[in-house]
Amino acid sequence: MNVEWIHDHGQTLSPPMGKLVGVIDSKEGVEQVTKALEEAGFEQVEIIAGEEGLHLLERIHTFYFSDMEDRVLQWHIDEVKAGHFVILIKTSADRMDQAFEIARWHGAHQLIHFGWLTNTWLAK
């Protein structure tokens, strides 16, 4: 599995379409969830954290639908400021529930799936 810790190179992050996005409170939690996702056959996970992650998130001006994304973005900024980790799990809609259960089981919260023309809030 490809686990990428996204570093700040001045880039603007693209919208997280096709990804389950959530928050994990500890690095140990990140390691546990990525291991479980790998065992389940998920292939791509991205992590946003620390000062670099904060700069990346603060450069996002808008997503693509509504102000709901603005609220989610602000939650993620607040979580990264608190020392937590934003996880983005690439998943198809038919595996979204499986990815959600694995992430939630390992402590992820504020889980939302960004799909084509729909966003699905799964857990607060």
pLDDT of the residue at 62:
57
Structure tokens at 52: 């670099």
Q: Decide if pLDDT at 6 tops 60.
A: yes
What span, in angstroms and rounded, lies between the C-alpha atoms of 48 and 85?
A: 6
Can you give the residue ranges of every domain in the chain? 18-92+101-123
- For β-strands 2-5 and 85-90, DSSP reports them as unpaired
Q: How much of the chain is helix, strand and coil, in % rounded to 5?
A: 40, 25, 35
Burial 68-90 (b: 16+ CB within 10 A, else e): ebeebbebbbebbeeebbbbbbb
Reported as a single tens digit per residue, the pLDDT across 59-93 is 876 555 555 667 778 888 999 999 999 999 999 88
- Reported confidence tier of residue 14, pLDDT bands at 50, 70, 90: confident
pLDDT of the residue at 9:
94
- Reported confidence tier of residue 102, pLDDT bands at 50, 70, 90: very high
